[in-house]
Amino acid sequence: MPSRIVCFILFLLLAAIPGSLMAEQNSPPVRILFVTQSKGFVHGSVRRVEELAPAEIALTQLAQQSKEFSIDCTQDCEADFTPENLKNYDIVAFYTSGDLPISEEAMDYFFSEWLREEGHGVLGFHSATDTFHNDKRYWDMIGGTFIHHPWGSGTEVTLTNHEPDNPIMASFGPEHSQQEEIYMYRNWQPEKVRVLMSLDYSKSPTNSPVNTQYGYHVPVCWIKNYGDGKVYVNNLGHREDTWTRQEYLDSILSAIRWIKGDLEVDATPNPELSQAQEAKAKSDFEAGQFRKQK
């Protein structure tokens, strides 16, 4: 009998808890703001109309299926990328282009405070590197600035996974091939990033001239620490069907877990790997049927 009384009292106590508090206790611990605004080229994987596009649908479904995060998609940086609103989120994901309408106050807060906090981080997809070309704070954070893509979206490329045992990269296997548009960069700082995946020139032919002005090595995925925050960047994602590939989604989910602190991943910069990849890429370039961009 006493046990029934205790259970009844507990029931009354639980019933008295406000619904908003119960929802907060059951809400996903990671909150993501997915920015897909374009002020340059508008990719098919992000919205041109009101309906969600493939990238947004993919991450929304991943949130629902994994129950590990919630996500809000925005194409209105002026209204949503503010110091006040950023405080509601743990991660900002960028699939963007051009100079976004973000105030200087918000930019300063984002780089100086928000991103440097433990548990905060950035996910950068494809054209995230084609954003804020002339803002050093941004390209220093994201890792590089787009110059061109000699490997177009219909090109079958082969990528070397430098850390197949890394939980962020395990889904790709030691080598990964698919059709995808692959960028090259300037403002690349190998001493600040840990490269996880690179293009293999020897297995990725192209008929387009290649701009080697800033080097031959083509990094495709990398991570870095930013204060106590974390950054994950993946060039893949131009093609809409990339957002249906399980290996890509698994990598993103693992990156979210890493930013949250649930996965231990070494983000120590590996410039020696970039140096070795630069030498290999140059050798493969010279041995293959590649043309330099004039």
Mean pLDDT of 206-215: 95
Q: Among 4-13, 44-53, 88-97, whose mean pLDDT is lowest?
A: 4-13
Q: Which helix (H) or strand (E) holds 276?
A: helix 271-287
Q: What is the pLDDT of residue 261?
A: 96
CA-based end-to-end distance of the chain: 88
Q: What is the pLDDT of residue 117?
A: 98
Alpha-carbon distance of 174 to 202, in angstroms, equals 16
**DSSP reduced 3-state for 255:** helix
Q: What is the pLDDT of residue 125?
A: 97
Q: What is the pLDDT of residue 189?
A: 96
Q: What is the pLDDT of residue 181?
A: 97
**DSSP reduced 3-state for 17:** coil
Mean pLDDT of 81-95: 97
Is 188 in contact with 164 (CB distance < 8 Å)?
no
Mean pLDDT of 59-75: 95
**Stated length of the chain:** 294
Report DSSP state, residue 93: E
Mean pLDDT of 192-201: 98
Tokens of 97: 């282009």
Report DSSP state, residue 59: H
Tokens 């840990």 identify what position?
Answer: 194
CA angle 139, 143, 146 (to 5 degrees): 70
Alpha-carbon distance of 38 to 47, in angstroms, equals 9
Tokens of 14: 């639980």
pLDDT in tens, 275-290: 999 999 999 999 998 9
Please report the sign of the dihedral spanned by the C-alpha atoms of residue 258, residue 265, residue 184, residue 240: negative
Mean pLDDT of 140-157: 96
Alpha-carbon distance of 217 to 206, in angstroms, equals 15
Instruction: Name the pLDDT band for 141 (thresholds 50, 70, 90).
Output: very high
Q: What is the pLDDT of residue 38?
A: 72
Q: What is the pLDDT of residue 39?
A: 59
**How many whole angstroms from its chain centre is CA 184?**
16
pLDDT of 11 above 70: no
Alpha-carbon distance of 174 to 229, in angstroms, equals 28
Q: What is the pLDDT of residue 50?
A: 66
Q: What is this structure's pTM?
A: 0.88
Instruction: Choose among 195, 186, 192: nearest CA to 214.
Output: 186
Mean pLDDT of 145-161: 96
Residue 1 burial by CB count (10 A; 0-12/13-18/19+): exposed, middle or buried? exposed
Is 219 in contact with 195 (CB distance < 8 Å)?
yes
Alpha-carbon distance of 152 to 237, in angstroms, equals 12
CA angle 112, 114, 118 (to 5 degrees): 110
Alpha-carbon distance of 40 to 128, in angstroms, equals 11
pLDDT of 24 above 70: no
pLDDT of 17 above 80: no
Alpha-carbon distance of 101 to 78, in angstroms, equals 6
